[in-house]
Structure 1
Amino acid sequence: MGVYLYEKNELPDGFKYPEDYIEIMNMDIIPDIEPWSFICEFQESSSFWMMEVKTKYPNRELVPFAKVNYSDDIACFDGADISGDPKVYYIHAFASSGWEDRGYSDNFDEWLKIARLESARHKSELAENQE
């Protein structure tokens, strides 16, 4: 499966994706972490969210990469971090500037662990409701 990663000119200067993120994006099948989904599966979605965060939050350097399916919450890398292991911010898109923060994870690995736990709980609840 092909994925869309932002072009260098779309990213903040010096930003590097975390290695574990790149590894996942290079998999034949991207992991199912519903209710989260990686926005990179479609260039249009990636471009939309990048433009949205740049427009709504011009004083921040955010690199969106995932979205919760039931809300406007998105996960964004801290684009100002050039270490290759940036924080992941939870952003409530469409909130007024200054009201968008919903917390953060220390890095992609921590975010992915949390997303997988949320996914397991979400899928369990769906299965219970279908019984």
Structure 2
Amino acid sequence: MPATSQDLLTGGDLPDGFSYPPEFVRLVEYGLTDLEPWWIMTGDLLRERHTGLAERRPGRSLVPFAERQDNDDVACCDLATGTIAVVHDYGDPKARDVARFADFPAWLHQAMVDFLEFN
């Protein structure tokens, strides 16, 4: 069964005042969650990654939404900056972000480039 927006973090799981970008919700509602090498996370996997990121990166307010299948990179909404941060989840928490995008559409554009180039 395809994922829906009901499979995303809700209520008490989300920081106060946060809402997913509408473009992201639309992507999920259309079932476009496998953008190899990126996977849009939903359900238990999303909840576990969100909890784990909070433990591994204290002091950062990140809401993960996608993971890369060929490494430990995770794309997140960075609430402190209002941007999209790609972090190497199990790397040094003090290391620079792998990438940063102005907004979700900018990240999605790069994810589509990755999709076209992925072998």
Using structure 2 for the length normalisation, give the TM-score.
0.89
Residue 111 of structure 2 aligns with an amino acid whose one-letter code is A
Partner of 2:3: 2
Unaligned runs of 5+ in 1: 127-131
| Aligned-pair CA distance for 1:103 | 2.1
Please tell me whether the aligned partners of residues 33 and 41 of structure 2 are also in contact (alpha carbons under 8 angstroms).
Answer: no
Are the aligned partners of 1:12 and 1:80 in contact in 2 as well (CA < 8 Å)?
Answer: no
Residue 35 of structure 2: SS of its match in structure 1?
coil
Distance 2:96 2:39 in 1: 19
Structure 2's unaligned 5+ residue stretches are: none
State the 4+ residue runs in structure 1 displaced beyond 2 angstroms: none
Q: 2:86 aligns with which of 90, 106, 113?
A: 90
Point out the structure with max Rg over C-alpha. 1
SS in 1 for 2:113: helix
User: 1:32, CA displacement in angstroms?
Assistant: 3.5
Q: 2:29 maps to which residue? A: 26
If asked which structure has higher relative contact order (CA below 8 Å, sep 6+), I would say: 1
Displacement of 1:65: 0.4
How many equivalent pairs are there?
Answer: 116
TM-score (norm 1): 0.81
Contact 2:34/2:40 (CA < 8 Å) preserved in 1? Answer: no
- How many percent identity over aligned positions? 27
Q: CA RMSD in A?
A: 1.5
- What per-residue deviation string (whole Å, max 9, x for no partner) do you get for residues 91-122 of structure 1? 00112321262120110000000100110011
Residue of structure 2 aligned with 1:105, choices 62, 80, 101? 101
How many angstroms apart in 2 are the aligned matches of 1:31 and 1:13? Answer: 25
Single out whichever of 69-78 and 3-12 deviates more from structure 2: 3-12
